[in-house]
Structure 1
């Protein structure tokens, strides 16, 4: 196994306060071998300058690596974030870089 894919799309209008909201997350992953995993965890969000940083921690609840823990770091920069946190606008889009580490128990 060398990679996996997953898609998380949110639609609709979100407020600037939504950028800082912590959420529960369920994420299905399909690995390049065809195996699948489902990750379930909780997120903690911080905004530093124009960068939205999210850390999700939890457990692989099914499939490959079931029972193992994970940490997923999500980082997305957008100049709109500065306007949003200053109360002067909204964030029209945010594209993230994601790293995932699964640790066997």
Structure 2
């Protein structure tokens, strides 16, 4: 069994033929103002909106949140920095043509 999908052109032709059949059977197309079709008695139809059920109580998870925050705090504990004396670095001095001339030690 293969499920055949319709192309956009086929869907357009099908819709156009349905409209032609409707008009042939003396059906009338009514022009409606923009935004009017979603209103009932001048208000939006709220019967299909998903706020019909009462508000559910939430399960308190304060202990879980505290454990997660504690793990984050443990990971972020900074390690003490070891102060090493800075060693001098070798810097190259170049001439105007990009050729190295000499090396200089900088602190």
Tell me the TM-score range normalised by the shorter chain: under 0.3
* Higher RCO structure, 1 or 2 (CA under 8 Å, sep 6+): 1
Normalised TM-score (structure 2): 0.17
Greater percentage in helix: 2
Structure number with bigger Rg: 2
Normalised TM-score (structure 1): 0.17
